Structure 1
């Protein structure tokens, strides 16, 4: 028994001795004091750059050296992110704009795009200004590793781009949603007659759905889509949630793609006129197949009618006078010359609302 105990004691001691001789691995440590920021290699500071419309398609390239980091154990450094910022001279980069955000050591664009960027910075067309550039480098996901390059300056001369021709049709967005099977190609539109990024229009949401929808920049899901950002704001993130209205009904939507905001206002239309001495409102029926409001009733000869929203005159539609059955705010009364039974149809989901008068 003593012999067995002695053997076990020797084995245990040998194990402890061998364990104490093993190398203890430690996590790699980065010494931020030994890191170096990125540095421009081209263009050189003081470069004079004259941009010309004739050179619009020519390339413009910037290059820089990588930022370096000192890490123990020769550990691999995660990818470094480089943000290229441009500001006006002597602005201390207040109001600066981001020209590029990349993980490579170069930035390439064309002269026309660079000129447009400089105009967005506040430099007028056909003028000369001095700009400052810097690169902010940081290891992805580690903000504390951020470092800034030496600033370089450039003197740039811009050009005034030609005025683009007006679009062939009024710019518009599509409004697909649960109410129509989430099919952008078959969805109603909202319109921007001023081509200023603000789109407006009517959409009717029938009973029985979720009243959820999005705005899309094309009749598909492959381009920019505008979903829920926060209350009253939009997000272009492909994973953004759906927008929604509170209940069924006819809504006037506004989508501001510049400021990424949106609003909705319920506007339920009714018919008013001489048939009820302009003192009441006849309810309309929604035809979901034809996306229109309709009403059929008897009228006396010479009856006059208009449509208005929410039983109020703040929003009311009469004939525009253009002779094409278009409607306008505060337009003329619509006159039904002969007595009889009529069907009146109201089409709101258009760039310009229209109406139809059918004598039955």
Structure 2
């Protein structure tokens, strides 16, 4: 009889063990009248967002622990939404087992933009904390709501727009229309710099353009101070003259809105390097010492199909090293002016693309040609 009892106990234990293994999550029996939701104790406030201090702490949300009727780990999900939306499109901003969470200026600014708040316009976020048991959100309870007022700043560098009579023929949409999304732009060095840069293609000789500080209209536009349109000196007024590009081509454009100067440098791009059939072009090499790329105004990129060996390449303009781009060493295909050589690990036939269409965010790609 004793042996039978032992066997029955073993079978019962095995059944219980299998039941536990098969369940993804344990079932918690919580008496609602014995459970207390988390309570945010941080006061409603206005948070100042300063893009010059992006790594500083901006906001810490603190709450009292949720109380369940037995001891078990509790997970807290911090939910954020634009004020007045009743959390309809809420964002799960963070998950933690602690009872506080801190955002930096940068992270809170990005969260506000993601939630739909307008740049440079005061708005409000609502924050709530949802407690739960287990990893599947079991027995969830909502906290009270914290309201935060803030003004998000732009995460994009300042821009200038270049509307002109060249746009349609050059693949940039409508002529003289800064609001056209294809209108070329220049981008500043940083958030406070007056120095702007970009590359623009002009299909025709004697193309005309102006420079506008917004893509809305021509208010505050920059033009040439001289009737020739080629002086290199800017004048900011509706009576300014058009800037003229006498010879068609692909130009690097530099503008300084503080010094009121501009420059147009015609560029033709090529690839060189130890991986190419011609090898690295010497410092003062002339024509035919590198491999010319071809510009396509529809795709707005330079390209060539070329047989490469293992080694390195770089891009340079005008058969010279005055303008050259190399790797920025981040491994993401982005380029730095004067950057390091770009490694070619394996020999073969490649489509090489140089993309200078996004100001100060220049990229390249090497795509093997497969038969």
Q: TM-score, normalised by structure 1?
A: 0.50
Which structure 2 residues correspond to residues 1-360 of structure 1 after superposition, within 5 A? 167-181=154-168, 182=175, 183-184=177-178, 185=180, 186-194=182-190, 195-206=192-203, 208-230=204-226, 231-274=231-274, 275=276, 276-279=278-281, 280-300=289-309, 302-350=310-358, 351-360=360-369
**C-alpha distance in 2, partners of 1:179/1:342?**
33
**C-alpha distance in 2, partners of 1:217/1:311?**
34
What residue in structure 2 maps to residue 110 of structure 1? none
CA deviation after TM superposition for structure 1 residue 166, in Å: 6.3
User: Per the alignment, do residues 326 and 259 of structure 1 end up closer, same or farther by CA in structure 2, a change over 3 Å counting?
Assistant: same
Q: In structure 1, list runs of 5 or more residues that go unmatched.
A: 1-163
**C-alpha distance in 1, partners of 2:357/2:198?**
7
Q: TM-score, normalised by structure 2?
A: 0.49
Which one has a larger percent strand, Structure 1 or Structure 2? 1
**C-alpha distance in 2, partners of 1:169/1:202?**
18
SS for the counterpart of 2:349 is: strand
Q: Deviations over 1:116-164 (max 9, x none)?
A: xxxxxxxxxxxxxxxxxxxxxxxxxxxxxxxxxxxxxxxxxxxxxxxx9
CA deviation after TM superposition for structure 1 residue 165, in Å: 8.3
Name the larger-Rg structure.
1
SS for the counterpart of 1:346 is: strand
**C-alpha distance in 2, partners of 1:232/1:331?**
28
**C-alpha distance in 2, partners of 1:203/1:291?**
9
Asked if structure 2 preserves the Cα contact closer than 8 Å seen for 1:228 and 1:241, the reply is yes
CA deviation after TM superposition for structure 1 residue 240, in Å: 2.7
Q: Deviations over 1:44-80 (max 9, x none)?
A: xxxxxxxxxxxxxxxxxxxxxxxxxxxxxxxxxxxxx
- Count, aligned residues: 195
The RMSD of aligned alpha carbons is: 2.1
Asked if structure 2 preserves the Cα contact closer than 8 Å seen for 1:202 and 1:253, the reply is yes
**After the TM superposition, which parts of structure 1 deviate over 6 Å for at least 4 consecutive aligned residues?**
none
**C-alpha distance in 2, partners of 1:259/1:271?**
34
Name whichever of 183-192 and 317-326 sits farther off: 183-192
Asked if structure 2 preserves the Cα contact closer than 8 Å seen for 1:295 and 1:343, the reply is yes
User: Per the alignment, do residues 248 and 357 of structure 1 end up closer, same or farther by CA in structure 2, a change over 3 Å counting?
Assistant: same
Asked if structure 2 preserves the Cα contact closer than 8 Å seen for 1:320 and 1:326, the reply is yes
Q: Deviations over 1:72-93 (max 9, x none)?
A: xxxxxxxxxxxxxxxxxxxxxx
SS for the counterpart of 1:178 is: coil
SS for the counterpart of 2:214 is: coil
Q: Deviations over 1:148-190 (max 9, x none)?
A: xxxxxxxxxxxxxxxx986421001112223313232312211
